[in-house]
Amino acid sequence: MSLNTKVRILGFAGSLRRNSYNKALLRAAQELVPKDAILETFDLDGIPPFNQDLEQNPPPAVKEFKSKIRQADALLIVTPEYNYSVPGVLKNAIDWASRPYGDNAFDDKPVAFASASIGMLGGARAQYHLRQMSVFLNMHPVNLPEVFVTFAPQKFDASGRLTDQDSRKFLAQLLENLVRWTRRLKGQGKEEARKKEIEVMAS
């Protein structure tokens, strides 16, 4: 990946629900992704329950998921909170992609998290569990801003568009930080700063 190459982000949502607020948040992220990045999405529907007997030769949907994660420069995980943690669908997909031991697709990936909930904490507890998992998965999460879309029914319109301006602003900032973080981890931080300096001097 060079400075002129777009950062490829893979995004997936921890809800399979047709009218999911989190799927809608992921669509908003596609609208708000910076110009020097692209956001492709993957639907976890179709990933079967984890069975360690199959981890050496996993089902096709899991192979595809792992391959998409590997091709991506960075990840965006958008999830609801279920019973104070991440939904089983998301944990299941993470478990598959982390296995077999020594073949963890998440290894060394920059990642950003966002969540939407109908409640007042916006899925915060699920995000903190993802941060905990990131330690063993060896992912590198963006710290700030934390995007918790609280009281979700008030923040999206009937067509599922994120209409709340503050949420859009924070999500756009998170994506910008993810792209900058990814470039920094790939050693482009100094190069990028120098390019900006040249642009400023030339203007």
Ligand X SMILES: Cc1cc2nc3c(=O)[nH]c(=O)nc-3n(C[C@H](O)[C@H](O)[C@H](O)COP(=O)(O)O)c2cc1C
Q: Which residues bind ligand X (CB under 6 A)?
A: 15, 17, 20-22, 80-84, 116-119, 121, 123
Query: How far is residue 10's CA from residue 65's CA, in Å, rounded to a whole number?
Result: 10
Query: How far is residue 150's CA from residue 152's CA, in Å, rounded to a whole number?
Result: 5
Joined together, the tokens standing for residue 130 give 């993802």
Nearer to ligand X, 4 or 83 (CB): 83
Minimal distance, residue 22 CB to ligand X, in Å? 3
Q: Which residues sit opposite 37 in a β-bridge? A: 7
Nearer to ligand X, 22 or 188 (CB): 22
Question: Strand, coil or helix: what is 105?
Answer: coil
Nearer to ligand X, 18 or 190 (CB): 18
DSSP per position, 113-163: EEEE-SSTTTTHHHHHHHHHHHHHHT-EE--SS-EEE-SGGGTB-TTS-B-
Minimal distance, residue 6 CB to ligand X, in Å? 28
Minimal distance, residue 57 CB to ligand X, in Å? 32
Minimal distance, residue 112 CB to ligand X, in Å? 17
Sign for the pseudo-dihedral over CA of 33, 144, 15, 104: positive
Minimal distance, residue 23 CB to ligand X, in Å? 6
Nearer to ligand X, 46 or 119 (CB): 119
Nearer to ligand X, 80 or 110 (CB): 80
